[in-house]
Amino acid sequence: MTEGAMPRPETENRKTLLSQGIDLVRFLAHSRHALGVTEIAEKMELPKSSAFRLLGVLMELRFVQKNPATQRYTISPEIFRFVYEVAHEFAPNRKLEDVMIRWAQKLDCAVYLSMLSERCTYVVSAEGPLGGTFALGSAGPVYASSAGKVIVANLPEEEWVFYEPTEKDERLTSYTNLDPARFRKELLAARESGVAWNMRETTPEVASVAALVREPLYPPRMAVALLVSYEEVAVHDRVSLERHVRELAAELSKGFRPGA
């Protein structure tokens, strides 16, 4: 492995206790009401003893709480303390937050910092309009993400096929592109220009443009995007937005230089 390279995630077939616990937290988060251990075990296809053990571990972590009167389980509000610490202490966020806030205010638009994982990008920090709690952690496929496209465009071309859309992939809006040839053209254009666009491919009302944020790591994994209402693209104009996102990405990249 090249010095400074990031390890690629390995596929794990067997379910570990940790992965089962995360699945259980997600299951409870999606539930609209408190659940008993029997119902949890049945819906998650777990032995009741395993579900009970997992719930005990999650209660110790204060991610789950039990109502002593009903013996039913729900997500504990204390889990948001953990989420807060991850969001605020994650190194890129601490380094870059002030810069992102300043640019969001300057341009009066949302600024998202996203990272690549497998075939999706995840928002790890968000400022400005369309930012906030509900943006953090939101994910989208690379083929419908401006951040994803510009990150993948900076990978070797032989790796692009892994990220190409297929007809089996989800079409998020009527504007989502599932044509691999068109996707490859978008990557070539992004590699040439340094920016990539998402024109209503994820949300019909929103457009975004992204540029790569460079870390002292390989492969590249991070990009910053400017999000505006699709109707406002003409107001901001594409050329100006592209220039702004390049400047913002360059400033954010400086934050990762040694001694920054």
Q: Are 88 and 94 in contact (CB under 8 A)?
A: yes
Please enumerate in sequence order all residues whose Cβ is within 8 A of that of 254, keeping only pairs 6 or more positions apart, or say none: 260
Predicted confidence (pLDDT) per residue in 55-108, tens digit: 999 999 999 999 999 999 998 988 888 877 776 666 565 678 889 999 999 999
Confidence of residue 144 (pLDDT cuts 50, 70, 90): very high
Q: Rounded to an integer, what distance in angstroms lies between the CA atom of residue 194 and that of residue 121?
A: 18
Maximum CA extent, the chain: 63
Angle, helices 79-89/91-107, rounded to nearest 10 degrees:
80
- Report the alpha-carbon angle 87-89-95, nearest 5: 100
Peptide bond just before 141 cis, omega within 30 deg: no
- Taken in order of first residue, the domains within the chain and their CATH numbers are 17-79 (1.10.10.10), 90-254 (3.30.450.40)
Q: Rounded to an integer, what distance in angstroms lies between the CA atom of residue 17 and that of residue 241?
A: 46
Inter-CA distances, 216 with 2, 115, 174, 243, Å? 12, 15, 38, 23
Query: Lowest mean pLDDT: which of 55-64, 92-101, 159-168, 187-196?
Result: 92-101
Location of structure tokens 């972590």: 61
pLDDT of residue 98: 87
Q: Are 178 and 135 in contact (CB under 8 A)?
A: no
- pTM for this structure? 0.75
Residue 121 sits at φ, ψ, to 5 deg, of -115, 150
Q: Are 25 and 79 in contact (CB under 8 A)?
A: yes
Q: Rounded to an integer, what distance in angstroms lies between the CA atom of residue 200 and that of residue 33?
A: 34
pLDDT of residue 90: 65
pLDDT of residue 81: 82
Strand order across the beta sheet in which 139-141 lies = 139-141, 120-127, 110-117, 222-229, 206-212, 195-199
